[in-house]
A = this chain, B = another copy of it.
Amino acid sequence: MANQGPDAPRQAEHSAETGAASKARLRLWLRMLKSTRQVEAALRDRLRTEFDTTLPRFDVMAALDRFENGLKMSALSGVLRVSNGNVTGIVDRLAEDGLVVRVQVPGDRRASLVRLTRKGQEEFARQAAAHEAWLSELLSDFTTEEALTLADRFDALAHREEDE
């Protein structure tokens, strides 16, 4: 893609608006996306072959593992930042496999709490350990310090977008 114009962005350097900055950010975005997708693909593949599960299922279980008291469906979709209806199906399938349960909330017949079962906890523990190891391998280009620095950098970005 890059340099199609023979001498496109010459001229004075008051580029500012559609200029160099936006090209640089576009470039960054494309790399980020590529890297993220590669890591995601690797994780998905290993989850599938070694645990016969999927990334979304893992994500849901990870969220539930952090909240031992369970999460309401809406809270779950909020934490994962996916749509409401989405979570319904994933939880359905996890429940079929006996990894999570829906517990009725006493005072409110609309809501239910989703919680990991014992089996779910044990299964997730195994998956999470493997997941962390895979990731460390996949991101081994980054030293501990660099990883932490970058993590904070992205954190700022994430927070900025968060409240919309």
Contacts and interface: CB of A to CB of B under 8 A. Distances in A.
Contact of A22 (B1, B22, B135): B135
A84 interface: no
A21 B141 CA distance: 11
How many chain copies does the complex carry? 2
Instruction: Tell me if A's interface is mostly helix, strand, loop or mixed.
Output: helix
A162 B156 CA distance: 29
Given A22-B132, A36-B36, A161-B39, A156 B141 contact: yes
Interface stretch (A26-34, A89-97, A118-126): A26-34
A35 interface: yes
Interface stretch (A98-106, A108-116, A146-154): A146-154
A21 B156 contact: no
B24 A151 contact: yes
Contact of A147 (B24, B40, B139, B145): B24
Interface in A11-62: 18, 20-42
